[in-house]
Amino acid sequence: MGIHNLAISNPILERAGLIYEETLPEDKKTEAIKTLKRAFDDAGEGKVLDIDSISMTARMILESVRLNQIIRLDNDLVAEDYVYGHCLNVAALTAVIGHDMDYNIVRMRGLIMGALLHDIGKVLDDSAKEEEHPSRGFAYVRKIRKYSTLSAHVVYAHHEKYDGTGFPRGIAGDKIHEYARITAVADVYDRLVSSPEPGKECLLPHQAYEAVMALSSSYLDKRIADLFLMKAPLYPVGSFVVLDRQYIGIVTDVRPKMQARPTVLLIGDMKGKFFEEWFEMKMTDNLTTFISHIMSEEEVIALTERYKKSAVRKNRR
């Protein structure tokens, strides 16, 4: 139908007045996905893609990450746009990691340019096996003028594993270029929290966090994974959470390296009662209070229905 995005409203979040900035602003993200789609379409048709437009997208990511270091990337993509959105998200995540590794502008640009095209091999031959797309992508990008060899090695080696069990070459440790090791961490995380496959459930951010941690001793470079986890969201802004199995709240703020202790807007209790006045609690100041779990979509829907009914009763009075 030509509809690429839908903004879903929720009366609870509307009352909370929750506004937060993504790592990549929505308007710039939408334009970047269009740019990547055009580039990937050109590649799929055997043409040379417009590397200057990819370079402009890389500069946008650099500037956005410089202004916003907290990882906030929504994955509200239709299946047809998944590969482009995934490459964009991975590029943004690599920029956050590269920033924390004190990369200069030249190295950041090389890293981001590699991440933006890391899955381009997937559009070059629809019948190719998964294990073949890094080699196909590498063979394509290495012929592009103004595309650096180091960026091309991201395309080639992002599925190599730190323990040597990856593909296409089965190299291990520091033999894998650092750009590719960074991209591998970002690639794994984004694939865990988003999926183009109908019916396949994505992991919640805290589950993906734990998965990356578990993989950091084999698949991923632990040093790089640890840097990423310092910024990875456990409880993204806007999450509905239950505190100590008593109170229901909405995460309103998260600080780097303190993801387990966000600021939470308390809105009600587990008995179904909504508070007249909602108030924020900084969990950094309340160290004996813990988040017991993130509410599921079904729980949030049920909570929202109860809230709407309570608002109707209140208005009638």
- Token pair listed for 269: 């209790």
The pLDDT of 42-57, averaged and rounded, is 95
CA distance 240 to 237: 9
Q: What length does the chain have? A: 317
From 70-84, 207-221, 250-264, the region with the lowest mean pLDDT: 70-84
- What is the C-alpha separation between 93 and 24, in angstroms, rounded? 10
Q: In the predicted model, is pLDDT for residue 30 greater than 90?
A: no
How far apart are alpha carbons 250 and 241 in whole angstroms?
6
Looking at residues 311-316, what average pLDDT do you find? 72
**From CA 277, how far away is CA 12, in angstroms rounded?**
13
**Cα gap 238→216, rounded to integer Å:** 28
Sheet (strand 247-253) strand order:
274-282, 263-269, 247-253, 240-243, 291-294
Q: CA angle 25-28-31, nearest 5°?
A: 145
Residues of the chain with CATH 1.10.3210.10: 13-229
**Which residues fall within 8 angstroms of residue 295, CB to CB, at 6 or more apart?**
239, 240, 241, 242, 248, 303
C-beta neighbour count of 191 within 10 angstroms: 16
Residue 141 CA neighbour count, 13 Å, CB half: 31
Mention every residue, 6+ apart, whose C-beta is less than 8 A from residue 256: 69, 70, 230, 231
Q: How confident is the model at residue 180 (pLDDT cuts 50, 70, 90)?
A: very high
3-class DSSP assignment, residue 282: strand
Class of domain 13-229: mainly alpha
Look at 224 and 257; give whichever has higher pLDDT: 224
Structure-block tokens of residue 299: 């729980």
Query: What mean pLDDT value characterizes the chain?
Result: 89
**Residue 46 CB burial class (10 angstroms; 0-12, 13-18, ≥19):** exposed
Residue 198 in this model has a pLDDT that exceeds 80: no
Q: How confident is the model at residue 60 (pLDDT cuts 50, 70, 90)?
A: very high
For residues 270 and 154, the model is more confident at 154
Tens digit of each residue's pLDDT (9 = 90 or more) over 265-298: 999 998 889 999 999 999 999 999 999 999 988 9
pLDDT tens-digit series, residues 62-94:
998 887 766 766 665 667 788 999 999 999 999
Give the sign of the dihedral formed by CA 185, CA 188, CA 192, CA 197. Answer: positive
Please report, in angstroms and rounded to a whole number, the separation of the first and last CA atoms in the chain.
43
CB 153 within 8 A of CB 147: no
State how far the Cα of 199 lies from the Cα of 271, in Å rounded to an integer.
32
108-139 pLDDT, tens digit per residue, is 999 999 999 999 999 997 766 889 999 999 99
The residue written with tokens 């012929």 in the block is 143
Lowest mean pLDDT among 77-91, 144-158, 159-173: 77-91
Q: Are 110 and 151 in contact (CB under 8 A)?
A: yes
| 21 band by pLDDT with thresholds 50, 70 and 90 | low
Residue 5 banded pLDDT, cuts 50, 70, 90: low
pLDDT at 44 over 80: yes
Percent of the chain's residues with pLDDT above 90: 67
Q: Who wins on pLDDT, 10 or 159? A: 159
pLDDT at 126: 72
**pLDDT over 70 (residue 235):** yes
What per-residue confidence (pLDDT) applies to 27? 83
Highest mean pLDDT: which range of 157-171, 200-214, 219-233, 284-298 = 157-171
